[in-house]
Amino acid sequence: MNTLDSRRYYPTALALYITYFVLGIAATIMGQYKQSFAALWGAEKLADGSYDVSGVVAVIAAIGLGRLVAFLVAGPLSDRLGRRLSGLIGCGLYAVFFLGITFAPNLYVGYALAVISGMANSFLDTSITPSCMEIFKEKGTIANIFTKLSISIAQFLLPFAIGFVAARELPFRTIFLATAVIILVDGAFLAFLPFPPFEKVVKGQGKRETMRFTPAAIVLICLGFTTSTTFMLWMNCNQELGRLYGLADPSKIQSFYSVGIVLALFVSAALLKRKVEPAKILVAYPTVAFLTLAVIYFVQKPAMCLAGGFLLGFFAAGGVLQLVTAVANEMFPKNRGVITSIVMISSSLANYIVISVAGVLTRVGGANGPRLVVLFNMAVTLLGIVLALYLNVCQKRERAAKAEPTT
């Protein structure tokens, strides 16, 4: 596909990026309204007058379960029936979530709707990542990293939207309902906009390419878990940590976090243009994230939450998972939907497992619970650094093997 041909798909790319804007809201909005949902669902009041949010944390963790379930079918469906169908299913499921969660009468209905939210995430991932790689063939990795920009813009604007709603004494449901309208309108555009051609896998004819999982591919899948853990745990504990450290307005952490993400995306894109190997970025960024978490754990100052939010936005959430997914897509160009599913299954396991563990640590640790979550985050991030170092070793070996003359 030449440049002129690809330009006709730019409106499609814009509509796809908007779906990730909605995804960014879905990923964080329940964390911002933990107290509201806890009160709505009859949670126990604590001694300080706040509500026990452990049930809401469990609901948030269910998003990971939904992602995990849906990825088993979303990837193959995308490769067989097309990126458009996956995208439309994702938009429809998100509309159900945003409309339903606002009126969920109890924790159990909320849990089911969170599973639906996770499923929506899965279908969008298997539509958008392959589509970006197919629309922007020569710069597919950079284009995929910029899907995170859409998420970041949403997460940057969300605290302001929350403040706007609160200042006008509007119900917290307002943002959920407005987002439902956005995703329905965007889905209507996706139903008619053109999508680039893809190499369809026809049932009964087998896959044209056998998916051979080298050590490097396996490590990338594992990195889907560790890179997701670092930012997911931070997103789900930063508000409580800010209050623990005496920060007057913990919601500001989210804005610092989003600024860090946006800056990281442009820096990462510049590094990739300069031919810096993605595997090296996958070592450097988590290393700085680990050091940041360590400082946050030991230096219990309000300012550290804001600085830490910026640094973790940059080095943990600044397109690292998208970089992992893009590199995996390049390894399997004819099975992009499936490999995206596999990496995101790993990410979904992180969402479900580590957020569930975070809920237990929050409950067991009491007031000190958020610091225990930070400590847990450090351990998983360190594992990710080790895996990324091994990825570099694997890629060097593979390049050396290809360079050897055949006899």
Task: Compute how many other C-beta atoms are within 10 angstroms of the C-beta atom of residue 39.
Answer: 15
Report H helices in 33-137: 34-40, 54-81, 83-101, 107-135
What pLDDT was estimated at residue 209?
Answer: 55
Q: What is the pLDDT of residues 130-156, one digit of tens each?
A: 888 788 877 777 777 778 788 888 878
Answer whether 327's CB lies under 8 Å from 336's CB.
no
Rounded to 5 degrees, what are φ and ψ at 148?
-65, -25
Place of tokens 């429809």: 92
* DSSP one-letter code for 196: -
∠ CA(136), CA(211), CA(207), 5° rounding? 85
One-letter amino acid at 101 equals: I
* Cα–Cα distance measured from residue 141 to residue 275, given in angstroms and rounded to the nearest whole number: 12
Q: What is the pTM of this model?
A: 0.76
Alpha-carbon Rg for the chain in angstroms: 21
Q: What is the pLDDT of residues 11-70, one digit of tens each?
A: 998 999 999 999 989 988 887 888 888 888 877 887 777 778 878 888 888 887 888 888
Q: Which domains does the chain have, with CATH numbers?
A: 8-197+212-403 (1.20.1250.20)
42 conformational bin, left if phi > 0, alpha if psi -120 to 50, beta if neither: left
Give the three-class secondary structure for 51: strand
What pLDDT was estimated at residue 108?
Answer: 93
∠ CA(169), CA(116), CA(334), 5° rounding? 125
* Cα–Cα distance measured from residue 171 to residue 86, given in angstroms and rounded to the nearest whole number: 32
| 291-309 burial code (b ≥16 CB/10 A, e <16) | ebbeebbeeeebebbbbbb
What pLDDT was estimated at residue 206?
Answer: 46
What's the N-to-C CA distance of the chain in angstroms? 37
* Cα–Cα distance measured from residue 283 to residue 389, given in angstroms and rounded to the nearest whole number: 6
∠ CA(146), CA(94), CA(74), 5° rounding? 70
Positions in the chain short of pLDDT 50? 4, 204-208, 407
